[in-house]
Amino acid sequence: MNQETLFIAFSTQKGGVGKTAFTVLLSSYLHYQQGKSIAVIDCDFPQHSIMEMRKRDQELVITDPYYKRMAYHQFKEISKKAYPVVASNPVDAIADAQKLIEDSEGKIDIIFFDLPGTMNSKGVVLVYL
């Protein structure tokens, strides 16, 4: 069956309640444990907290022997690369997702969008008058 990539973004009426944390946990669970192909578009401009988290992880894996060993075992066990994280913003997010789908070799099952802390950010809500 030819299924399209699913787009998911979590939103809440209040900021700071775990949207980013839940996005990372669910993405990682589905990608590493459930065999899904995941990508994350980090729209929380300019903090880009998931992107920053990914940079810290990459640095740890290179510099710390413990995390280097863990990364090696994980890669050996599941033969799978880390899911891509793209730095974006709410205005360009959909175009960036389309580009990711076009550029990806295999199919991406789900793309998660991590939204900014407030809906008052340009591009989060489209108003048609």
Ligand X SMILES: Nc1ncnc2c1ncn2[C@@H]1O[C@H](COP(=O)(O)OP(=O)(O)OP(=O)(O)O)[C@@H](O)[C@H]1O
What residues line the site for Mg ion (CB under 5 A)?
19-20
Beta carbon nearer to ligand X, 37 or 121: 121
Contact 48, 42 (CB under 8 A): yes
Q: Scan residues 63-102 and list those touching ligand X (CB under 6 A).
A: none
Nearest distance in Å: CB 126, Mg ion: 20
Beta carbon nearer to ligand X, 19 or 54: 19
Q: Scan residues 11-30 and list those touching ligand X (CB under 6 A).
A: 15-21
Beta carbon nearer to ligand X, 9 or 101: 9
Beta carbon nearer to ligand X, 6 or 17: 17
**Does residue 117 interact with ligand X by CB under 6 A?**
yes
Binding stretches for ligand X (CB under 6 A): 15-21, 44, 117
